[in-house]
Structure 1
Amino acid sequence: MLAPMTAYVCPRCRSRAAADALTWCCPQCRGPWDLAFDAAPVSLPTLASRVNSLWRYAEALPLATTAPEVSLGEGRTPVVPLSDTVSAKLDFLTPTLSFKDRGAVMLAELARRLGPRLVVADSSGNAGTAIAAYTARAGVPCAVYVPEGTSAKKLEQIRAHGARLAVVPGGRDAAARAAQEEAGAPGVLYASHVFNPHFLHGTKTYVYELWEDGGGTLPDTLVVPVGNGTLLLGAALALDELHGHGLIDRRPALVAVQAAAVSPLATAYRAGARELTEPAPAGTTLAEGIAIPRPPRAAQILRAVRDTGGDFVTVTDDQIRAAQADLARRGLYVETTAAACWAAVREAPPRPGTTVLPLCGAGAKTGLAPA
């Protein structure tokens, strides 16, 4: 059912499980899986005649199919300039209005093939709306757990797609624990955008698109918002594949952006740590999508930034608010989490060469940040 030679593998203890199993985490470490999958090189000259969605990069996808049944045309988002050297990739122009569609379509395709009785997800909002939409497309029942305080518009969207919605008292960690409890039941697929590596193989297409649109080249720097790190880790995966196949001669620097109020990874990085030793203290921020106090893939995120010569940048709510307003005046209405990257670029010293950042969630989902 799945691509040949795919299996789940634990990046810490090297435990393995079949990729068609419903085992959602390493039974030894209780951590997230990686996927033992060898992507084949993508042929740039052949792409013009392929399907106009992320499925065009079939050689690089573990669930590749010539006729994807759950696709909604996700991917292939435009890039527009913000300055002479900085451009934005408009990943809010996707079916559910966030970049999470890239990973959600992979998890929904996995669910379509495995046929669980229920798909369970947890989210601060955008991943939940994406999973709800794509499981609806796949015809698989879905339940989504979100923390209290999640945007009302995102809750409305999840319900509209027919998912069972559970609003959990407490923060993001509480929602994850509730989802994982249900995920332990027989016949349940935990469609976690953090624990299931198929999601990362969807988000990596963000970089494949930049590579294609650049005629086989990439910008010097990729600035990415980081909470659980699913876009950054997908980007790192794509960079490794493209470089390993000789399709790029260097990896761009990955610059990770966190909200100053919830920035455990930035703190660990500045201390020279390779693991997250302590979660972030309780805090609130306008950038709810990256307010993750204890990201399960912390070690992988820190390593990816270091390996590319990147950095971490933190931004305040005031800076995020100003960046969101500035983007809106430029015709780009995005949510506060998406504005964090533009805030970082505006505030941090400029890096040499060209830079691309994602605008990864629509402003219609959260509204304009209050003054």
Structure 2
Amino acid sequence: MTYATDTSALPDRFCPADGTRVAAVSPAWSCPACRGPLDLDFSPTPAPLDKLSGRVNSLWRYAECLPLPAPAISLGEGRTPVVELEGRISAKLDFLMPTLSFKDRGAVMLAALALRLGPDRVIADSSGNAGTAVAAYCARAGLDCTVYVPAGTSPKKLEQIGAHGARVDVVDGDRESAASAARAAADEPGTFYASHVHNPYFLHGTKTYVHELWEDLGGRLPEALVVPVGNGTLLLGAQLAVRELHAAGLIARRPALYAVQSAAVAPLAGAWRAGADDLVGETPMAPTHAEGIAIPRPPRARQILRAVRESGGAFLTVTEEQIASAQADLTGRGLYVESTGVACWAAVREGALDGRTGVVPLCGAGVKTGMAGG
């Protein structure tokens, strides 16, 4: 396989809704026709298990599956451990990352791409973790960075974003207000919009979560992959990895994808229950401990619903009481995880998988937000 060595060799992007194609070096951050998110025209073949020994101990060991070669800005992201929680359920400790969340997997790809394209500035929008990750990797790459965040973002996350030298623009309103402010600035000349929702490079970073699981489990995957879903970047990344491994004959069956949402803000679960292919009606924003997945209108809703349906999985919702209880339970097991990151354990700890093997991600460290209800 030939890897990209310059911008002319980067894969093109395309709109999954209407097929519109966007050149690799275009500054467009969304489909010019419908303004929807883009996918990457990239179908790699993973290396077999016996070819991975001795490679770099980061997500860049899966080089065949990444649309960019290993950059000089890596912070050693990836290769997080898997530990047993209870019975047939294990957890992947993705809070053990350079910025203490799984978003590093995608952020390093966005920063590496921006470094190649050479913008004057990088902007991002986030409820905290994605913005922190983008800020850190932009600092590593020497890129000017501004992060738009909604009012009410955890002070600890704001401190972490600023510590990396990024400007923090606090937007009055909710998560969607912050995204709207970023999109308004995204078309300014010389701007690279490091959108973890619209830019497909982010998904090709998050998919390494599953490639690591496959390697660490000896060339297999559990029967169920359970992931928290707001904008769906981890779930859609997981779908990409499963597809790649299956197409290469490296797994015999595809695991079911289970998507977990907070019952307080669950637009996708509502659409799922209605049997719909897209969002149904309006979902009002509501307070929830799981702030990182409280997304009333995820732009990739149709893709998320289709991915879960095609995998044979389902949507699960958790209450605020379940989230707080699950966080306390994990703390008692020695794992201090932020409230959003415990949602999956809250969903499956009482048998939702009916005895099947499953893995949940613990996505962010507890020091970012503290204890639910605390």
Please state which band the TM-score falls in when normalised by the shorter chain: over 0.9
Partner Cα distance (1:19, 1:101) in 2: 22
Contact 1:236 1:304 in 2 (8 A): yes
Aligned pair 1:19/2:21, yes or no?
no
* Shift, 1:181, TM fit: 0.8
For 2:23, give the aligned amino acid: A
* Shift, 1:38, TM fit: 1.8
Instruction: Give the secondary-structure state (helix, strand or coil) at the position aligned to 2:335.
Output: coil
In the other structure, the counterpart of 1:70 is 73
Q: 1:215 aligns with which of 194, 215, 218?
A: 218
Aligned pair 1:186/2:189, yes or no?
yes
* Shift, 1:283, TM fit: 1.1
Aligned pair 1:339/2:337, yes or no?
no
Aligned pair 1:239/2:242, yes or no?
yes
In the TM superposition, 1:1-371 aligns within 5 A as: 1-2=6-7, 4=9, 6-65=11-70, 68-347=71-350, 349-370=352-373
Contact 2:8 2:24 in 1 (8 A): no
* Shift, 1:46, TM fit: 1.7
* Shift, 1:348, TM fit: 5.0
Contact 1:228 1:295 in 2 (8 A): yes
For 2:241, give the aligned amino acid: A
Partner Cα distance (1:108, 1:210) in 2: 24
Alignment deviations for residues 234-255 of structure 1 (CA, whole Å, 9 cap, x no partner): 0001011111111111110000
Instruction: Give the secondary-structure state (helix, strand or coil) at the position aligned to 2:148.
Output: strand
More displaced 10-residue stretch of structure 1: 276-285 or 250-259: 276-285
Partner Cα distance (1:42, 1:2) in 2: 24
Assess, with a 3 A threshold, how the Cα gap between structure 1 residues 287 and 22 changes in structure 2: closer, same or farther. same
Contact 1:313 1:348 in 2 (8 A): no
For 2:248, give the aligned amino acid: H
* Shift, 1:205, TM fit: 0.1
Partner Cα distance (1:167, 1:203) in 2: 26
* Shift, 1:5, TM fit: 6.2
* Shift, 1:154, TM fit: 0.3
Instruction: Give the secondary-structure state (helix, strand or coil) at the position aligned to 1:286.
Output: coil
Alignment deviations for residues 251-301 of structure 1 (CA, whole Å, 9 cap, x no partner): 100000000000000000111000113231221101000000000000000
Contact 1:78 1:89 in 2 (8 A): yes
Assess, with a 3 A threshold, how the Cα gap between structure 1 residues 119 and 217 changes in structure 2: closer, same or farther. same
* Shift, 1:3, TM fit: 7.8
Instruction: Give the secondary-structure state (helix, strand or coil) at the position aligned to 2:90.
Output: strand
Contact 2:270 2:280 in 1 (8 A): no
Instruction: Give the secondary-structure state (helix, strand or coil) at the position aligned to 1:293.
Output: coil
Assess, with a 3 A threshold, how the Cα gap between structure 1 residues 317 and 21 changes in structure 2: closer, same or farther. same
Alignment deviations for residues 141-185 of structure 1 (CA, whole Å, 9 cap, x no partner): 000000001000000000000001000010010000000111110
Contact 1:3 1:64 in 2 (8 A): no
Alignment deviations for residues 72-91 of structure 1 (CA, whole Å, 9 cap, x no partner): 00000000001120000000
Assess, with a 3 A threshold, how the Cα gap between structure 1 residues 221 and 260 changes in structure 2: closer, same or farther. same
TM-score after normalising by structure 1: 0.98
Assess, with a 3 A threshold, how the Cα gap between structure 1 residues 22 and 262 changes in structure 2: closer, same or farther. same
Partner Cα distance (1:209, 1:43) in 2: 12
Contact 2:246 2:252 in 1 (8 A): yes
For 1:265, give the aligned amino acid: L
* Shift, 1:350, TM fit: 3.2
- Count of aligned residue pairs for this structure pair: 369
Contact 1:41 1:60 in 2 (8 A): yes
Partner Cα distance (2:230, 2:241) in 1: 19
Partner Cα distance (2:264, 2:8) in 1: 42
TM-score after normalising by structure 2: 0.97
Instruction: Give the secondary-structure state (helix, strand or coil) at the position aligned to 1:93.
Output: coil
